[in-house]
Amino acid sequence: MSRARRHLTRFPLLLAASACSVLFLGGCDHLHQDMATQPKYRPLSPSDFFRDGRSERPLLENTVARGSLANDEFVIPKDSNAFPLEVDQALLERGQERFTAFCTPCHGLQGDGNGMVALRGMKHPPSYHIDRLREAPNGYFYDVITNGFGQMYSYGVQIPPRDRWAIVAYVRALQLSRDAHVSELPAELREKLSQGDSAK
């Protein structure tokens, strides 16, 4: 068989293969999904679908959004100075343990904002010993642990409510440790301090 005749017999096969590949490649366009151009609305983007021109819809009256219901006895208002647990040695020890596990990487062991994360280049959180945080109500600390604030993300999932209050109690103890007067200390601690002074 001559070379020209061989090419002529292969031509219909090549033509069919080319047609199939064109059809296949044309169909692939429908399978391609560009993640940057999804048919969705971003928060606060405009919309022609709703009369008010907004894509984000207001909450329905007399409803509570999922996850927004505060239905346990440990939740208090952010501006409240109440404390829903009895503060004792066991609670303070639990607070110290949880503070060490969750808070010291950024806030440091003394709560002065010099944790290892901050020392390695991240933004330093404020010291618990500044006046603004000394005067902040207990509910503020609980709310920040629960919902996060600034660069600090929420620990509402990782830390149960009782442990959040234990941390708040320990933070208050840290604050008192920097501002305690000798006259306010128990007698045995005052005696230890006086023995330390006399030994010098």
Q: Is residue 64 part of a domain?
A: no
Q: Give yes or no for a contact between 108 and 189, defined as CB atoms under 8 angstroms apart.
A: no
Q: For residue 84, what is the DSSP state? A: S
Alpha helices in 76-199 (DSSP H): 89-102, 104-107, 116-119, 131-134, 138-147, 161-179, 187-199
Give the separation between CA 38 and CA 23, rounded to whole angstroms: 25
Q: Residue 102 is part of which domain span?
A: 89-199
pLDDT tens for 124-159 read: 899 999 999 999 999 999 999 999 998 898 998 899
Which alpha helices (DSSP H) does 47-129 contain, by range?
Answer: 89-102, 104-107, 116-119
Q: Taking Cα atoms as reference points, which of 85, 80, 112 lies closest to residue 167? A: 85
Residue 59 domain-assigned (yes or no): no
Predicted confidence at residue 121, as pLDDT, reads 86
CATH number, domain containing residue 194: 1.10.760.10
Asked, for residue 195, whether it belongs to a domain, the answer is yes
- Encode pLDDT of 64-74 as tens digits: 777 666 666 78
